[in-house]
Amino acid sequence: MSRPLSLLLIDDHALMRQGLAELLNAVEGFVVLGTAASAEEGLTLAEALIPDIVLLDLHMPGMGGMQALKRFKACLPDALIIVLTASDAQADLLMALSMGADGYLLKHTEPEALVQQLMSCSKQCLLLDPKMQLHDSGRASLSQVAGKCVDQVELTERECQTLRLIAEGMSNKLIARALGISDGTVKIHVKHLLSKLNLHSRLELAAWAHRCGFLERGISSERQVG
């Protein structure tokens, strides 16, 4: 008999963590090694527990799921990192895949169906919720994002702040609220970012920020806020 697959569950909602742990521990073939309420806590546990599968929520306080994905892939190269989220947005799906997610499942999935999906996961096959449609053209476009190197661009402080929030999946309205500026001003910053980085969409901006090391390194910025 093969050993059970070990899991680490990361979600900021306690009821979700507890419910998932009870569901999966009751299934022969699974064992939940631990749960975490944040990506930061999850990364610490992951290095100690070395699970086979990480179930990762996408939108959490602190380090967002997108940024965490890259970190989990680096510290757990042999594990499956599967996003479990309430978001059925194509942009979130494509972004998660571009960050190396091995699967993308929706939280409103029936428990029995979720178990079956997890039992079928493997490194050789991308695990997608049946309700999610992966558009090949969109994924190819995202995976080929080039833009400029981090060292080649100079952004204002506000543009840097805007780009970081775009990379966390925030809308213009949420960015405006977070930075205390108008929606129109956010749109201007986004326009400037696209021009300076030689990119064509918000999705490409977010992918560039994650793939080119902007979130880890930051870049030089002019002291201009607006």
Tokens 């840097």 correspond to what residue? 160
Structural domain boundaries in the chain: 5-123, 157-212
pLDDT (tens place) for every residue of the chain, 226 residues total: 578 999 999 999 999 999 999 999 999 999 999 999 999 999 999 999 999 999 999 888 888 888 888 889 889 988 999 999 999 887 788 788 777 788 899 999 999 999 998 988 766 566 888 887 655 444 444 444 455 566 667 889 999 999 988 877 778 888 999 999 999 999 999 999 988 888 777 767 877 776 666 776 655 454 344 4
C-alpha separations of 156 from 12, 58, 150, 190, 216 in Å: 33, 28, 14, 12, 17
CATH number of 157-212, picked from 3.90.1150.10, 1.20.1050.10, 3.40.640.10, 1.10.10.10:
1.10.10.10
Please indicate, yes or no, whether the overall pTM of this predicted structure exceeds 0.75: no
- Two structure tokens written together for 52: 């086979």
- Two structure tokens written together for 50: 């070395």
Q: What is the CATH number of domain 5-123?
A: 3.40.50.2300
